Structure 1
Amino acid sequence: MQIRHYHDADLSAVIALWNEVLPPSAPHNDPATSIRNKLAHERDLFFVADAAGEVVGTVMGGYDGHRGWIYSVAVHPGHRRQGIGGQLLRRMESALVERGCLKINLQVRATNAGVIPFYQSLGYAVEELVSMGKRLYS
């Protein structure tokens, strides 16, 4: 298994993985839209876990010069508990540090709170913040 940059040929595999693991809850979470938008900005902050030519995990990130963000961490259910998620996050962390990033944020859907211990095991902490958002579409 290797962690590598996303390739255009990965599109259908990543969409299938995200539809299974991260079902879209709103139009801005549509996998094809998210991927298209990511490829237009910081394409090099999009990694996949490749096991013998099969995409078994992903992580997408961003950096705005102030904070780094982790998005779309997904590992195929049949490949969990093998360290793939941790490897994906460490690769993204390294890429963000290379850019000068000093702090990384990530958000967990309330419906996916069971994943919080996984992130805590990698050094992430629940912060006393209120996350707010505004949808710019109707």
Structure 2
Amino acid sequence: MQIRSFQLSDYRLVAELLEEVLSEECCEETMGAFARQLSWDSDLVLVAESAGNIVGVLIGTIDHHKGYVYRIAVRDSFRGQGVGRQLVSQMGKRFKQRKVLKVLIAEDKHNELLRPFYDSLGIRSVDIVQLTQPLAIVAG
């Protein structure tokens, strides 16, 4: 498996993955944030690729010196195989390269479902933040 930056040619496959994995409401919110992040900094959108297929995606953003993990999605058949962990680890390295002082998980009703995953990574609840504004405003 390879973790790499999103490429424009990945768009359709990433959109299909998000539609498959996320609820309809979450997918709609995520697609807007995904498009905005691509226009700002596509290096903070990571994909996990296995045998030429996109099996996971992580959308991150930076606001001042804080890095945010906005959304992570992993194809059902690849869950429990460390894909999410590798995506978060690679995003952490990118945040560190950019001198991010603190990494936060964007807490919303959709990410709340992933709390056990983040707990398994050792991310304390203090590192999870409720966004008071949409991602477009936080990162813009």
The answer to whether the superposition gives a TM-score over 0.5 is yes
Segments of structure 2 that go 5 or more residues without pairing to the other structure are none
Cα deviation, 1:11-60, whole Å, max 9, x if unaligned, reads 111111111222342796152x3332111111111110000110000011
Matched, 1:17 2:48: no
Q: Cα RMSD between the aligned structures?
A: 2.5
The count of residues paired between Structure 1 and Structure 2 equals 135
Q: Percent identity?
A: 32
User: Shift of the alpha carbon at 1:134?
Assistant: 6.1
Please tell me the residue identity of whatever aligns with 2:29. Answer: N
User: Shift of the alpha carbon at 1:4?
Assistant: 0.7
Measured in 2, the distance between the counterparts of 1:37 and 1:113 equals: 22
The answer to whether the 8 Å contact 2:5/2:47 transfers is: yes
2:40 corresponds in structure 1 to 41
1:96 corresponds in structure 2 to 95
2:116 corresponds in structure 1 to 117
Measured in 2, the distance between the counterparts of 1:13 and 1:46 equals: 13
Measured in 2, the distance between the counterparts of 1:61 and 1:94 equals: 12
Please tell me the residue identity of whatever aligns with 2:58. Answer: V
2:50 corresponds in structure 1 to 51
User: Which SS does the other structure have where 2:92 is aligned?
Assistant: helix
User: Which SS does the other structure have where 1:81 is aligned?
Assistant: coil
Measured in 2, the distance between the counterparts of 1:129 and 1:36 equals: 22
Deviates more, 1:20-29 or 1:117-126: 20-29
Segments of structure 1 that go 5 or more residues without pairing to the other structure are none
Greater share of residues in helix: 2
Please tell me the residue identity of whatever aligns with 1:57. Answer: G
User: Shift of the alpha carbon at 1:9?
Assistant: 1.0
User: Shift of the alpha carbon at 1:85?
Assistant: 0.2
User: Which SS does the other structure have where 1:14 is aligned?
Assistant: helix
List structure 1 segments (4+ residues) > 4 angstroms apart after TM superposition.
128-131
